[in-house]
Structure 1
Amino acid sequence: MYEKFSAGFGLKNRHLQTVYASFFRKNVPIDFEVEEFVLSDGDFLECFWSYADKKEKQMPTVVLFHGLTGSYRSSYILGMIHALNSAGLNTVLMHFRGCGTKANLLPRSYHSGESGDALEFIQSLRKRNPLSDVYAVGFSLGANMLLKLLGEMAKNSLIKKAVAISAPMQLDTCANFINEGFSKIYQKRLVGDLNKSLDKKYDKHDMFSHINLKREDIVKLKTFWDFDGAYTAPVHGFKSAEDYYTKCSSRQFLKNIQTPTLIIHALDDPFMSSDVIPNENELSPFITLEVSQNGGHVGFVGGSIFKPEYWLEKRAIRFFS
């Protein structure tokens, strides 16, 4: 029986859970090998590999999918990679388009439902090493994408087991929640970063012809509804932000999942309300849903404020083993 999550002493606050590791965690340096994976449309993904043993590269591999504006610099990514490597598992962080060290080549980017890129990469892994199992861990946006992908693959899944952490499984509900109260602080930071990335695209592309938005009007995008309506939806072929949220929310795909999957969620997540948590009748028999009172957003820090323990890493390793 696994140990249920219990927030560390002095760490029960939802916001402290969410930001603690980013500000206070000292991460072990990771020696990455970088692969540029070329996609079928000519764009590319930066995939950062880290091996448990470089002499044994055919071992099981865990593919990691980061959250919105995340990367190999994110503390939750570095911590999970170090823990998985220590447990004898190879890892590869698949950066979404433009999230690594280089800008992607096309006017489009990535979004919460872009499962096609991940499918191409995982198919490549299975062809390269057909005898090596593939596992997956998704965080936040990456978790929503992963759950959608698992539902789309259904019985033809290429993944042996998967863990989805703090997934925004109902995107419109999350976009509304993060635009209220103190949560607007997170929205301001994230949308600000997205706006900066969009602004850089105007240096290389005629973005106005793609999304009908003048460069000087980017600063007017204040909410996720604004950004997704102005950029994400039109550049990725959706009719509107609402259309994008409706088609890409992973909750509707859960019943089709036929891969052993662990969904980890906290009731005090400051990015979303408990309304995003699916009902039992929406889950396939392959899903284990674990909901804790505390944990924040991709937090789940136990121990104490001066001696923290990162429970997510231990829980993922137990699930995979």
Structure 2
Amino acid sequence: MTRKIKDLSYQREKIDTPDDDFLNLDWIRKGHERLIVISHGLEGGSDRHYVTGMAKLFRDNGWDVLAWNNRSCNGEMNKQRILYHHAASYDLRTVVDHALEKYDYQEVCMVGFSLGGGQTLRYLGEESEFGLPDRVKKGMVISVPCSLPESVDTLGLKGNAVYEKRFLKKLKLKIAAKAAQYNDIDISGLDDVSTLEVFDEKYSAPLHGFKSRSEFYVYCNPFPYISKITRDIMILNAINDPLLIGNCYPYDLANEMPNLYLETPERGGHVGFAQAGEKFTYAERRTLEFFEGSTFRIIED
């Protein structure tokens, strides 16, 4: 059962992208000097419980909140031909640059879930190529497929059919809507697509300019960017996460990088980490602890 986060409201802002598209940003602004930027997972949005739970905890502890929605997510189809993917750090960069240009935040920290974690790792790891604002201090990624090609393979496992079915249903609706915008997108046979691998081969890869899904996955893989990160970064990946395997648990990098903190608890699932009798998840609490290194308060509804 999905938990309900009460007493939380956003203020929406629509911003333009450099390629004449738009992004929907959901704010909680209280005039604080610290900002947390939250990036959601595949086919998620700022309304997902794992985003709103994180937003509420940080709001209650002296942070402004910016939960952004990837192109086409959370109810509004974008204009351009492309949708979004694990490597869409260019949109995350647009979001952060906008926030820092508009408001005088002294500290910005980034948190990303699953796909949003991949985007966050890539954004932080592209510092040598695109630069990184000094006010961006730390990053936290949760249930992140650090090694995307390996993670994708787990979706074919029998126990993960529920994830694949849910993602595929939403993506099929989305590609049909995109075909209504661009009539050269061929959706004949869309109903017969039964796996994400086939969907990515037929739609995701070519839509974003790749020859094959394997080429697409290699490009979107955040793993090569982790070693390039200079800011403090924490990876929280549960051992029992059904979508993670192999280098999704980068122990060797954690041993080599003094700024990389890797936590791999036995339990937590995929974007779960619920604790019995607790209002906030372990992931939410751990993120706040990592970002500010102090105690925090829980405000009851």
TM-score after normalising by structure 2: 0.90
| 1:165-188 Cα shifts (integer Å, max 9, x gaps) | 010111121111111111122111
Answer whether contact 1:107 1:207 (CA < 8 A) is retained: no
* Shift of residue 309, structure 1, vs aligned partner: 4.6
Answer whether contact 1:113 1:249 (CA < 8 A) is retained: yes
* Shift of residue 255, structure 1, vs aligned partner: 0.6
1:157 to 123, 128, 132: 132
User: Is 1:184 equivalent to 2:161 in the alignment?
Assistant: yes
* Stretch deviating more after TM superposition (276-285 or 244-253): 276-285
User: Is 1:249 equivalent to 2:215 in the alignment?
Assistant: no
Matched with 1:17 is none
1:317 to 274, 288, 294: 288
Answer whether contact 2:35 2:105 (CA < 8 A) is retained: no
After TM superposition, the structure 1 = structure 2 runs for residues 1-321 of structure 1, keeping only pairs within 5 Å, are: 23-51=1-29, 53=30, 56=31, 58-154=32-128, 156-158=131-133, 159-208=136-185, 214-281=186-253, 284-304=257-277, 309-321=280-292
Q: Which amino acid aligns with 1:233?
A: A
Give the whole-Å Cα distance in 1 for the aligned partners of 2:243 and 2:179.
30
Answer whether contact 1:119 1:149 (CA < 8 A) is retained: yes
* Shift of residue 233, structure 1, vs aligned partner: 1.3
Distance 1:32 1:240, change over 3 A: same
Answer whether contact 2:89 2:123 (CA < 8 A) is retained: yes
Give the whole-Å Cα distance in 1 for the aligned partners of 2:105 and 2:269.
37
Distance 1:113 1:50, change over 3 A: same
SS at match of 1:292: coil
Answer whether contact 1:199 1:215 (CA < 8 A) is retained: yes
Q: Which amino acid aligns with 1:316?
A: T
Answer whether contact 1:44 1:104 (CA < 8 A) is retained: yes
Q: Which amino acid aligns with 2:287?
A: A
Structural RMSD (CA): 1.8
Give the whole-Å Cα distance in 2 for the aligned partners of 1:120 and 1:173.
29
TM-score after normalising by structure 1: 0.85
Answer whether contact 1:254 1:284 (CA < 8 A) is retained: no
| 1:134-183 Cα shifts (integer Å, max 9, x gaps) | 11110000001110111111594232111000101111211111111111
Residue segments in structure 1 that go unaligned for 5+ positions in a row = 1-22, 209-213
Q: Which amino acid aligns with 2:168?
A: V
* Shift of residue 311, structure 1, vs aligned partner: 1.2
SS at match of 2:227: helix
Give the whole-Å Cα distance in 1 for the aligned partners of 2:259 and 2:199.
35
Give the whole-Å Cα distance in 1 for the aligned partners of 2:158 and 2:229.
35
- 4+ long deviations beyond 6 Å: none
Instruction: Answer 1 or 2: higher relative contact order, Cα 8 Å, separation at least 6.
Output: 1
Distance 1:284 1:60, change over 3 A: same
Distance 1:96 1:24, change over 3 A: closer
Give the whole-Å Cα distance in 2 for the aligned partners of 1:170 and 1:131.
33
Equivalent residue pairs, number? 288
Give the whole-Å Cα distance in 1 for the aligned partners of 2:233 and 2:127.
13
Give the whole-Å Cα distance in 2 for the aligned partners of 1:316 and 1:186.
25
Residue segments in structure 2 that go unaligned for 5+ positions in a row = 293-301
